[in-house]
Amino acid sequence: MNNPVGWFEIYVRDMSRAKAFYEALLRRTLHQLPEPAGPDSPEMLVFDMDGEAFGASGALVRMAGFEPGGNAVLVYFSCEDCAVEAARVEAAGGQIVKPKTSIGPYGAIALVTDSEGNMIGLHSQS
């Protein structure tokens, strides 16, 4: 059986600002994905991926006609302790929507907005 999420995309207006936010928040480096040919091709920065590990990878995407925000999709990033990452949010240019909150036997979550206005989730087992 495959993991239910195979990929995610977070749409952004300002790629430099969004890159700085996610690198500061998650302490991970984003890498430029070679752009396909064509005038309407998106700009994409991808998160590192380990194909043998649990979870999915994805990218920040800047593409004409696709605006960030609206929160139609909520992506949760796995953390050892989501309070640690949540503590980095405001300094990185985002806002805390819901601080670390227990979800019982499923661990804890925090909800934040990124530098582009997208809501994202942080999840940890403790």
DSSP-assigned letters across all residues of the chain: ---S---EEEE-S-HHHHHHHHHHHH---EEEPPPPSSTTPPEEEEEP--TTSSS--EEEEEBTTB-S-S-SS--EEE-S-HHHHHTTHHHHT-EEEEEEEE-GGG-EEEEEE-TTS-EEEEEE--
pLDDT digits over 40-60, tens only? 778 889 998 887 887 888 889
Q: Does the residue 74 lie in any domain?
A: yes
Question: What's the CATH number where 109 sits?
Answer: 3.10.180.10
Domain count, the chain: 1
Q: Does the residue 49 lie in any domain?
A: yes
Domain hosting 91: range is 8-124
Q: Does the residue 1 lie in any domain?
A: no
**Judging by DSSP bridges, how do beta strands 8-11 and 58-62 pair with one another?**
parallel
Mean pLDDT of 64-85: 86
Give the model's pLDDT for residue 63: 80
Pick the more confident residue, 78 or 4: 78
Please state which of the ranges 63-67, 110-114, 120-124 shows the lowest mean pLDDT. 63-67
Q: Residue 1 above 60 pLDDT?
A: no
Give the model's pLDDT for residue 27: 94
pLDDT band at 2 (very low <50, low <70, confident <90, very high): low
Pick the more confident residue, 54 or 83: 83
Q: Does the residue 2 lie in any domain?
A: no
Q: Does the residue 3 lie in any domain?
A: no
pLDDT band at 98 (very low <50, low <70, confident <90, very high): very high
